[in-house]
Amino acid sequence: MNRVAAYSLLAVGVSQLVGCVTMPIHTGQLVREMTDLERLAEFPEPSYKTVQFSSYDRRSSLPGGPDWYANSDGFGGEEIPGFEAVLAEPNGEGVGEYLICDVEGPGAIVRTWTAAIGGDIRVYLDSARKPLYDGPAADFLLSPYHAIAKTHGDKASVPANLFRQREAAYCPIPFAKSCRMIWVGKLKEVHFYHVQIRRYEPGTAVRTFDPEDLAILAEVLDETTRILTDPALDYPVTSQNAPVAIDAAIQPHEKTEVLNLDGPQALERLTLKVEAPDLDRALRQTLLHIYCDGHRWGQVQAPIGDFFGAAPGINPLNSLPFTVAPDGTMTCRYLMPFESSLKIELDNRGEQPVTVTGSVLPMDYEWNERSMHFRARWRVDHGVLGARQAVQDMPFLIANGVGRYVGSALMLLNPCHVSSPYGGWWGEGDEKVFVDDDTVPSTFGTGSEDYFNYAWSVPDIFEHAYCGQPRNDGYGNRGFVTNYRWHILDDLPFSRHLAFYLELFPHDQVPDMSYARIGYYYARPETMDDHVAITDEDLRVLELPASWEPVASLGMHDSVYHQAEDIAQPGPQVESVQDNLRAGGKLLQWHPEAVGEELELRFSVSEAGNYRLHLGLALNAQSGRITTRLDGKATIFSGRQEGIDLYVPYRVLARQFATDAVELSEGEHTLKITFEGAADTVSDPTIGIDFLAVQRQ
């Protein structure tokens, strides 16, 4: 068989390869797995362990010990280099060689990530003398396929950032015998990295990645990209069965059975929509229970809104296993197999009636010795003190048995006092995952945002097939924050034990945090975990403190805050409204009637010098575009020369925009805000102005 004919097999679907012992694992199969949720419902064969090599602080070697929460993990100048080994000490220019990983046996690279890294990376597969890749480290970690194609003479037209999701990339690179990576760079410069690798059981047949795979697999790469880009539209449904409707009106403190099916079958899709007078409250206080095969406690036990990964409230997202539409329709595509029976109950723990409609799509399924139940374990801790002096490991899941971990969602209330990410950030902490016989984590991360595939504690709203931040309300991550990450290609199988923790590690001391989370996993029926019953106290209504005063510390050091209502010129188009997300619990709302109208903010400084101005503004579906002038001169906030567009559909956000340093004289100054128009859908444009912070440089 010639080479092209042999590689045509790479486009064969995964379902045709299962059980074919003569077919080695190859690039095409792994790319197909990126959009195959069904495979997660069975324990993998051949088996593998997913491990992570990262720049975590090497002092964190003794669980619970003095340096367990050490945090020098890639900023440069670490006490112990954040690598497996030092291969060559730094030369006169400070450049050394450091081992990222040296994996013996069959495996595959399944995820790479970096927040920032200089230097070069060399990647060797199967002890080859010539590296598969030798070039800029950031290029490889952020877009491996594109970087490889470039260094091999552009054998394939591979788009830049193919399979990139924020700062992570999912570009599977299999190897038959070994994988060795070496970083060449300066330790005193930033060098954050993650490399996740599947380690297959010895003897597993693997066809090593070849750059020519990228050309041969062009159609498979395109199809996978299409599905990952819009799963709600393009994820393939295989069931030929008719959907089964769900329609229930549930009174307060009532539990109602809404579905009962006989097996063996599987749910390929679950779709629900909740209606209630107070929807946000209903989504948290209505519990979803899914019982499989007569188990007394549901394998799924979670507030119905939290289960879909975008709570609290309806925050649209479109990921591979979950979609939340703007109209409140929520869909789960994780497969839910069962052998004899499946029952769904809805438990209204609130004080209002709730209506739930939707459907399930059952599919034919043959239960076997590798089949597993889908589980979603929700838990919450209220009144938590977050403090860098008292970092704590928050458990997502501890399980004994056989299964694989497939996702995490975190729903946080962060009542921090600093209005910038440096100071308001809640997530310096690392993920730590113990699998089977681990005595130290086989997955050890470098920060919570890094685990969720982004970086630098940004409050951006974003969504991808495997990761997202569908909610982040306020300045510096203040308010409600939701992050998700689904482990699809990088799932974490375990054959005896799994313990998943994420450190709670804020920049500053933050009292009265609420930390809710879900660990999603598949498990054999005999698997035990640490889930406990959900109480009414767990489901209590959460609110930010009624009157928040931002603190001038950390990223906002040497700042003076001016409330907008105190420095804005009065008028009939200006009003002050109560809003706990805003400084002082108030927000100034300006209702301009025509393009070109202006609002003046007047403030003074006591001493001439260089200052940065920080403008706290509201973003929502009733806002519009503004430009600004300081003392008559056009002023740029956050690099937006065209002005600031405050229109955001579906959400209500608080964001802080800053200027570069500007020179101010002693005395009074005027910042004029000009209304530049709004979308046609906005009937009554409203510009929300919270504060002006003047920060000495």
**For the segment 472-485, what is each residue's pLDDT rounded down to a tens digit?**
999 999 999 999 99
Tokens 């043959």 belong to residue = 366
Q: Are residues 443 and 497 in the same domain?
A: yes
pLDDT above 70 coverage of the chain, percent: 96
* The predicted structure's pLDDT at residue 14: 34
pLDDT tens column, 321-347: 999 999 999 999 999 999 999 999 999
Q: Which amino acid is at 227?
A: I
The CA-atom distances, in angstroms, between 605 and each of 166, 197, 551 are: 40, 56, 18
Q: For residue 641, count CB atoms less than 10 angstroms from its CB and return exposed for 0-12, middle for 13-18, buried for 19 or more.
A: exposed
Q: Are residues 587 and 510 in the same domain?
A: no
Which tops the pLDDT comparison, 518 or 7? 518
Q: What is the DSSP string of 340-406?
A: SEEEEEEEE-SSS-EEEEEEEEEEE----TTB-EEEEEEEEEEEEEE-GGG-EEEEEEEEESSEEEE
Q: Are residues 204 and 338 in the same domain?
A: no
Q: Are residues 154 and 261 in the same domain?
A: no
Q: Are residues 321 and 412 in the same domain?
A: yes
Within-domain flag for 414? yes
Tokens 């030929």 belong to residue = 240
592 and 675 Cβ atoms separated by less than 8 Å: yes
| CA distance linking residue 387 with residue 676, whole number of Å | 43
pLDDT exceeds 90 at position 83:
yes
Within-domain flag for 537? no
The CB density around residue 219, as the number of other CB atoms within 10 Å, is 9
Residues 6+ apart with CB under 8 A from 390: none
* The predicted structure's pLDDT at residue 6: 34
Measured at the CA of 562, the angle between CA 560 and CA 567, to 5 degrees, comes to 145
pLDDT exceeds 60 at position 513:
yes
Residue 122: which CATH number? 2.60.120
Q: pTM of the predicted model, to two decimals?
A: 0.95
Evaluated on CA atoms 480, 486, 492, 496, the torsion sign reads positive
496: containing domain: 244-529
Residue 298: which CATH number? 2.60.120.1390
Residues 6+ apart with CB under 8 A from 454: 166, 167, 460, 462, 467, 469
Mean pLDDT of 565-589: 94
Domain count, the chain: 3
Residue 614: which CATH number? 2.60.120.260
The bridge status of strand 85-88 relative to strand 653-658 is unpaired
Within-domain flag for 110? yes
| CA distance linking residue 564 with residue 211, whole number of Å | 58
Q: Which amino acid is at 66?
A: P
| CA distance linking residue 309 with residue 494, whole number of Å | 24
Q: Cα(first)–Cα(last) distance of the chain, in Å?
A: 70
| CA distance linking residue 151 with residue 132, whole number of Å | 9
* The predicted structure's pLDDT at residue 154: 67
Within-domain flag for 351? yes
pLDDT tens column, 276-313: 999 999 999 999 999 999 999 999 999 999 999 989 99
Q: Are residues 625 and 505 in the same domain?
A: no
* The predicted structure's pLDDT at residue 600: 96
The last residue of one of the domains, among 197, 216, 235, is 216
| Confidence class for position 426, pLDDT limits 50, 70, 90 | very high
Structure tokens at 555: 């990223």
Q: Are residues 605 and 505 in the same domain?
A: no
* The predicted structure's pLDDT at residue 653: 97
Strand partners, 262: 341
pLDDT tens column, 122-176: 999 998 999 999 999 999 999 999 999 999 876 557 999 999 999 999 999 999 9
Q: Are residues 277 and 408 in the same domain?
A: yes
Q: For residue 667, count CB atoms less than 10 angstroms from its CB and return exposed for 0-12, middle for 13-18, buried for 19 or more.
A: exposed
User: Residue 179: which H helix or E strand, with range?
Assistant: strand 178-186
Q: Are residues 330 and 428 in the same domain?
A: yes
Burial 48-76, CB ≥16 within 10 A → b, else e = bbbbbbbbbbbbbeeeeeeebbbbbbbbe
Q: Are residues 480 and 574 in the same domain?
A: no
Low-confidence winner among 355-359, 641-645, 666-670 (lowest mean pLDDT): 641-645
pLDDT exceeds 60 at position 249:
yes
> What are the two backbone dihedrals, phi and then psi, of residue 64, each rounded to the nearest 5 degrees?
80, 0
Within-domain flag for 125? yes
pLDDT tens column, 622-661: 999 999 999 999 999 999 988 999 999 999 999 999 999 9
Structure tokens at 185: 């760079």
Residues 6+ apart with CB under 8 A from 412: 426, 480, 481, 482, 513, 514, 515, 516
pLDDT exceeds 80 at position 461:
yes
Q: What is the CA radius of gyration of the chain?
A: 27
Mean pLDDT of 68-79: 95
pLDDT exceeds 70 at position 555:
yes
478 and 386 Cβ atoms separated by less than 8 Å: no
Structure tokens at 153: 């003479």
pLDDT tens column, 188-202: 999 999 999 999 999
| Confidence class for position 8, pLDDT limits 50, 70, 90 | very low
Within-domain flag for 509? yes
Q: Are residues 571 and 500 in the same domain?
A: no
Within-domain flag for 339? yes
* The predicted structure's pLDDT at residue 22: 58
* The predicted structure's pLDDT at residue 12: 39
pLDDT exceeds 50 at position 47:
yes
Q: Are residues 171 and 290 in the same domain?
A: no
| CA distance linking residue 554 with residue 418, whole number of Å | 8
| CA distance linking residue 403 with residue 537, whole number of Å | 31
Where do runs of H (alpha helix) occur along 109-212? 137-142, 144-151
Structure tokens at 283: 């989504």
The last residue of one of the domains, among 529, 545, 571, is 529
What average pLDDT does the chain have?
95
Within-domain flag for 5? no
